[in-house]
Structure 1
Amino acid sequence: MLINEEQLSVFLEGLPCMAYMMRADGTLLGVNRRLKALFEQTDLKQAVKSQNEVSCFDAFRLFCKREFKKLTDFSTGFSTGGGWQYADTLFLHMSLSPYGLEGEQNAILGLVEDVSESQIECVKNAQYKAVFDSIKEGVLLAGVDSKIKAVNPAFSDITGYSAAEMLGRNPSMLSSGHHDKAFYTKVYKDLYELGQWQGEVWNKRKNGSLYVQWQTITALKNDAGEVDEFLAIFSDITHQKARLEAIEFRANFDHLTGLPNRAYFHELMANQLVKSCKEKSQCALMYLDLDNFKRINDTLGHSVGDSLLKEVSQVISKVIGAKNTLARLGGDEFVVMVPCFKQISELEEVAQAIVDALKVPFVIGANLVHTGASIGIALSRNVESVEEILRLSDLAMYKAKEQGKGRFVFHTGQMSDDVQAARNLELELRKSIANRDIRVAFQPIVDIATKAVLGYEALARWTTSSGQVVSPDVFVACAEELGLIQALFEVVYTKVLEGFLDLQNQHAKDIYVSINLSCYQIPSLLSVDWMTSQLAYYQLAPGNIILEITEGVLLKDSVNTRLWLEKVREAGYRLALDDFGTGFSSLAYLKSIPVDILKIDRRFVADIANDESDLALVSAILAIAEAFSIRVIAEGVERECQRQVLGRLGCGLAQGYYFGRPTEVEQQGLTI
């Protein structure tokens, strides 16, 4: 076919796609506008730099020349030349056809299609799918119609359902029935208003077993800004939660009776006293001691005594009802917390019911066991601490025993004296804070293996003008109630820094000091600024300071608390969680709160060499700490056997009388 340049141009421009014509030697005969426009794109020109200055069009022409050589048999007609890629930017698909010029079939006509967008999208989708399939967390994608669009392999591993079983189904098929309608309403409310929801969800596997997952759901919006899909990502935390719950149970509940133990009761009672004060109501505490228990233990044996304690706890629990709380303090001592009452007669009825129920003999094995209860009752009126209401009810209980056992007695008489003593303590404390009469003692924190001193815990000490030594628990609580806690802390903090400078001079290496904080100080961001300014004055660094907080601080979980914790970490301080395991410990806290150190409470250390429960509890705490890369300090180490057991368990740090008592700075040089 004979064709001139003008005819070729008309021919190529008339084609509905990008097109070109080329000789076998690579000479380009013609290119239509569509193809020219493609090669003149700015992004392609920029891509030349990554191609050693070979232009995109030159590279394209070389490719076409190679493809031309493949068309050796012109009788086959059309031959699809396949795809061509340039600089990860351009993807073309071409169809090549022999075309005769001047009587010879010595040219090719190339029809070109730009498939860049679809090719790039395929690559992205492949990458997304690789990530989707490989992550360990379960992933679920659902539309606003609650129909599942996709799940990943980890989802199937966790739930037992395959992707085929889930696609098009409603996620509610996983529901365990653990959550009510209000729970899911709150989830969707957060998704539409905040764009995300996060929390624990109990679900059911294909085999019917329940599991708990930590889940984050995100609302995905389309181009119009409307919620179009929901993406859920979750982890199975069943084993971690069970492990922590076991630790919490051992820490908070009596292993024999399953009742709240002394520590947990102390927490419950403290909360109730605060609540009663706010509501201007009254609560009451009944202190129970079993009659003749020592004799029963001595004559029938401890196994019978233990069985009796379990039977007694069950009987009392039935008698007092669900609204009241029964706890075991230890031995044969129980307490009943009555959160509210209107008439004294209500307390009398409950107490008398307990007395009457325990008069009935218990059948323990082959033994008929007779016991009873002496009960002391104290009201919360004018009571400011758990210790006080325990003491008052304990005094009343002894009065009941003196009067013949098997009865109850209300506390009377000493209340006014106690109130006056509290007022005197308040005045004395205000005066001592103003005069900076609070002292600071330092107890060494040591490497449990080498016994080398690595730091100190600073402990406030107070002696009144009359020479009375007041426990920190008492005067700190008093300061908190009076709103003096920040003033008290400022006196203690500056004295700690002054003493710490002297301690540093006694050591050849860098050491740190640990300081206890009250939960009432935590929300104040100004307190962090003040602490840092004092460090600058004494030329000390925040890295030398460990701030000890209790689990009660984490329970608040307020915005201010989290802001305070963030500011503390930003300033360079380290955080220690004191008395870990005695409160409402949670893995969620360890995951979300940046804690550096856990302190094991002394009650778990005291009998660790002999008590299997304490040994198991401490082992579990150490395992959790290791999982979170958190250091552990064991408190209350007083004997070599305790040190050895803790060392074998892998506890690195410790403090206690075995290593050194709390002493003031001038005495530290003698003990290091």
Structure 2
Amino acid sequence: MAETRAAGVRRTLRTRGAPPTLRGRRLSTLLVVVSAVVALLAATVVLSGSGGAGMVRWVADLAQFVVAALAAASAGLAARRATGRGRAAWTGLGIGLAGWAAGQAVWSVYELGFHRAMPFPSIADAGYLLLPVGAAAGLWLLPAPIDRRSRWRGLIDGVVVVCSLLSLSWVTTLSTVAGTAQDGGLGFAVSMAYPVGDVVVLSMALLTLTRYAAHWRVLTILVAGLAAMAVADSAFAYLTAIGRYATGSATDLFWMCGFVLVGLSAAAASGTAAPAALQAPRRLTASAPMLPYLPLVLACAVAVLGQVLGHRAEPVADVVLVVAVAAVLLRQYLTLRDNVALLETVAAREAQLQQQAFHDGLTGLANRALFADRVAHALTLHAATLRPLAVLVVDLDDFKVVNDTLGHATGDALLVRVAERFRGALRPGDTLARFGGDEFAVLVQDTDDAATVAARLLDSLRTPFVVADRVLSVRASIGFADLAAADEPPSPDQLFVRADLAMYTAKRAGKGRIAVYRPDMVLPESADLELRPALLRALAEGRIEAWFQPIVDIRDGRVRAVEALARWRHEGRWISPEVFVGLAARSGVLDRLTDHMLDRACAQLADWSRRLGDHQLQASVNVPPLMLKDPGFPGRVRDALHRYGVSGHRLVLEITEDALIDDVRAVLPVIAALRDLGAELALDDFGTGYSSLLSLRQIALHSVKIDLAFVANIDRDPEALRFLRALLALGNDLRLRMTAEGVERPEQAELLRAHGCHLAQGFLYARAMPAAQMEALLAPSPVALAG
């Protein structure tokens, strides 16, 4: 069973293309060892002359044939293991080696069998010359870089190497061969083919080393072997030309050494884990690009030495050497041009990285790091020159709702538009930064009026934005910390903390506001610890007061309704509603606060009805979103109405679009129960939320209150007026009662009246006030405009 399983594993490994087997590696190694032993024995006989000239001739001829044939076999094994162009390269080299072995066999038959000199040219030369052809083809078939600039550089390097080696070859061999070659065209061509072929192969081999780092060991051994054979060929051609070549000379040892090295490189390729050897280029060593210039250095040295020794001039060698030098100059020019382009690219990348490191990727504004650096510099200048400065922190109110309901793409687009507005509201020398999310910061210098800068930022948001075919209104809370001339400069971090505390105070004070840092400001968590027990006691004791702000008929100026607003006086000071309402929400008692305000509103309506006889006045109460999911809330509303005998139609429950965002169906049962009580529903802050028109239709509203952001600039900005006109047209088409919030100027009231708005609320008419003061405005006469 175990043997069967083992056999199955072996079959699986074979079918999956396992690494070279031990048998294949041993065969490759054996071929190299045998080749090396034969070459070593032959070298011993040749160098020692043992057995006389006849024995040396026999050993040299046969040894050359054997080592050439073994090298061809090794190349064949490497081709079998390789793939793609690597296989083609080894195949070409193997064919060349086999051709040389065949030529040597013919030579040996003539010399050893027939005891005659080999005729020239002969069929043996065809076999011999097949080696440079096969080697050149194999080197050419190696996968080359595809970059066009790399091809041009490779071509120029090739010109340098070929010309350098040709100059060397001409001085040492070619000139002699050319001068003594046989008169026949074929004889001359064959005589010249040996040294010229050697120049070509050696040039390609050197260029191969400059282009490839993969399998460097294999290539180095291969190039060394080809170089040894090139030296042997050139020596053979030279000695033959002068009639001094004889079998068994040192030239034969170079051939045998070359074949052993080529076989060793093939064996090394066959034994690698990825014997597709000679494949894709990798990163080269620093010295590799210098290889093409070594032949040039040698050629120049030989030329100079010839001049020193008084040898006759070689015009051909000098001409090709000049061509090589010209190619080097061209290569250096191209390299210089590439380096300049590379430096420009690096400079552009550095600028890009610097931009990314110190600027926000979305808006292009300065980021926290750059802003901190500029604040530190400004503080240094302040200490030296007493220049005033201020840091403003701007936080967009309820911006998370945009991302949660409309998606981050819309939120990002809106942030970009907000950044553009802020840029337009600042001076060129001011620094605007985005800290991430919906938080911005501004550094202003040389001004004592940071509050004016903050006001300009808020004003820039008055006009709603149009993003992705949606009209979006954005508000912001701004806190700032400034340094006058005489102030002791804090650290940058301390200045940030001060501005951040001020921003948090502005947000707690009602959002959409501005606050300046004061030393007594504390974090909201600290305030919670102090105020929470006091708020709970105030709720339990009924000490949260209800103040009222009139809602006026914009046509005749009479009060048609009031909005009940919570006010709390603690330890002799008024606590901002945003502070204690937020605290109530965090403390889980917002429902108790809402119930208390419902009770106070109904009680006051009943009191005014008894004393003033007004049974139509309505009172509005803000209802937080969580109450619309409380099934017990309609029952508590009913109890309040019954407790004071107030008709349901006199109670207006103001809800915000936030209550409709998650799932409008979840609030429909409570809304239906409230409508059954006769209570009216009003959508507060219309336009600042992100609910769909379908949601608004489903809850069957009675009225809509247009947020002050849509009203603030209608008398100054035509675009803002167009937005308002569209909202009023929509509301009137839906038969909704339209109320405008934040009316502060008569011009606003006139435009609202002209475009069909029904009711208005704002400082133009009155601020929130206690019930006793409110009675004066409930007379039948119109409300006198404030101020």
Name the one with the larger strand percent: 1
Greater Rg by CA: 2
Q: Same fold (TM over 0.5)?
A: no
TM-score when normalising by structure 2? 0.37
TM-score when normalising by structure 1? 0.42
